[in-house]
Amino acid sequence: MFNFSYYTPTEVLFGKGTENETGRMVRKYQGTKVLIHYGSGSVVRSGLLDRIKASLDQEGIGHVELGGVVPNPHLELVYEGIELCRKEKVDFLLAVGGGSVIDSSKAIAYGLADPDRDVWELFEHTRKANGCLPVASVLTIAAAGSEMSNSCVITRASDNNKRAYDDDLSRPKFAIMNPELTVTLPDYQTQSGCVDIMMHTMERYFTQGGNMEITDTIAEGLLRTVMKNARILHADPANYEARAEVMWSSSLAHNGLTGCGNDGGDFSSHMLEHEMGGMFDVTHGAGLAAIWPSWARYVYRDDLDRFVRYARNVMGVTDEGTDEEIALKGIEAMEAFYHSIDMPVNMSELGIHPTPEQVEEMAERCALATGGSQGSAKVLHKEDMLKIYQMAL
């Protein structure tokens, strides 16, 4: 086991009607002028934005709005947000949406805290943040876990450059989670979210050591719970209890809990997917589903004990066999699960068909973004990344 730190200060209000607490919570965390940041018009049409504004008005908290956040959120809108917030003297960022909106809010909050520097430098890892304005969210998509995490992923649209920056400064002050707000999500988004939640746990699960039993048992239980409820939602998207199980799992999967005591996790699948997302603008969770099986088949022999444990405790493989056979059955069971919720298991099923040159470019960019290598289950270099992309076509 490795030493670890655990820090999840985000105050969570979970359940029906909690969005009406928004004003009270912003006041509690000393916001006086709020940027309401959101994506598409659905939060306007559903009336959610009006309820949130009423809640802010009730507390006498000023607000301005900025919509238009897209999946794989753009640096260009972050710049626009920073400028608007400066002009309007905004001191609190309220994301109304999913991970993309929260990440865009975090990036704006970093930018506002250090007005003389380009915020993109953080994502290029040429400096660290000195501060971050307070961020919070009203969550409408269960997936990214950004509502409690220290992660932030931004894409520079001008050159399809998708980059991550992690810093505890950006841990949100509060998260309002009403599972009802996710009921109208299209199934593809729901299931992509479930894949993303599972991957946040699996990235921390497949390591070369340092694991704790208490962390493993939580991770395995979370994975089983998400799979069970993803299937329920595939058939019955309005099921409140299943929406709630998935929503709370999304936070627990990425707030640090499922990595306590390990070596920091693998995260190769995420890094490989970032390049697919940057180049082809695919939905993040679906992209992860498309790359994971190839990653798993490429690395499982180097982390065999974990893959066997995964097959037994998560995928429920009960067959007899060699460790290699059991590990492979676990990977096959995962692919069968992906198919059962209409998720892809390779890039072709995902609907992207990169040329050999594009595959080469993704591998090059991934190696660059990871500083040359990535992974714990198996350390990958550029040639490994290239092979996994090729296997995943």
221 binding its own copies? (CB under 8 A)? yes
Q: How far is the CB of 261 from its own copies (least distance, A)?
A: 7
Shorter beta-carbon distance to its own copies: residue 11 or 349: 11
Task: Show the tokens assigned to 347.
Answer: 């890039």
Interface residue with its own copies, options 70, 113, 157, 218 (CB under 8 A): 218
- The type of residue at 381 is H
Q: What is the rounded distance in angstroms from the CA atom of residue 98 to the CA atom of residue 141?
A: 5
Considering only residues 291 to 330 of the shown chain, the ones binding its own copies according to CB under 8 A are: none
Q: How far is CA 213 from CA 188, 209, 258, 354, 364, in A?
A: 34, 12, 11, 41, 37
Task: Show the tokens assigned to 98.
Answer: 């999913």
Q: How far is the CB of 164 from its own copies (least distance, A)?
A: 22
Closest CA to 146 of 191, 98, 82: 98
Contacts of 211 (CB under 8 A, 6+ apart): 1, 261, 262, 306
Shorter beta-carbon distance to its own copies: residue 13 or 93: 13
Closest CA to 349 of 264, 304, 287: 287
Closest CA to 354 of 381, 379, 389: 389
* Tally of CA atoms within 13 A in the half-sphere of 182 that contains its CB: 35
Considering only residues 252 to 281 of the shown chain, the ones binding its own copies according to CB under 8 A are: 252, 257, 260-261
Torsion sign over Cα 133, 139, 143, 147: positive
Q: Per CB under 8 A, which region of 13-21, 90-98, 101-109, 352-360 contacts its own copies?
A: 13-21
Count of residues binding its own copies (CB under 8 A)? 39
3 state SS of 66:
strand
Contact at 8 Å (CB) between 366 and 272?
A: yes
Mark residues 237-256: x for contact with its own copies by CB under 8 A, - for none.
---xx--xx--xx--x----
68 binding its own copies? (CB under 8 A)? no
213 binding its own copies? (CB under 8 A)? yes
Interface residue with its own copies, options 19, 103, 220, 303 (CB under 8 A): 220
18 binding its own copies? (CB under 8 A)? yes
4 binding its own copies? (CB under 8 A)? yes
Q: How far is the CB of 345 from its own copies (least distance, A)?
A: 26
Q: What is the rounded distance in angstroms from the CA atom of residue 269 to the CA atom of residue 334?
A: 15
6 binding its own copies? (CB under 8 A)? yes
Whose structure tokens read 């699948």?
Answer: 269
Q: How far is the CB of 236 from its own copies (least distance, A)?
A: 15
* Tally of CA atoms within 13 A in the half-sphere of 190 that contains its CB: 29
Shorter beta-carbon distance to its own copies: residue 188 or 240: 240
- Cβ neighbours around 183 below 10 Å, total: 14
Closest CA to 310 of 226, 196, 205, 200: 205
Q: Per CB under 8 A, which region of 7-15, 110-118, 156-164, 187-195 contacts its own copies?
A: 7-15
Task: Show the tokens assigned to 127.
Answer: 């400096």
3 state SS of 163:
strand
Q: Per CB under 8 A, which region of 9-17, 155-163, 264-272, 341-349 contacts its own copies?
A: 9-17
Shorter beta-carbon distance to its own copies: residue 263 or 349: 263
Q: How far is the CB of 13 from its own copies (least distance, A)?
A: 5
Shorter beta-carbon distance to its own copies: residue 199 or 260: 260
* Residues in touch with its own copies (CB under 8 A): 1-9, 11-18, 212-214, 217-218, 220-222, 224-225, 228-229, 240-241, 244-245, 248-249, 252, 257, 260-261
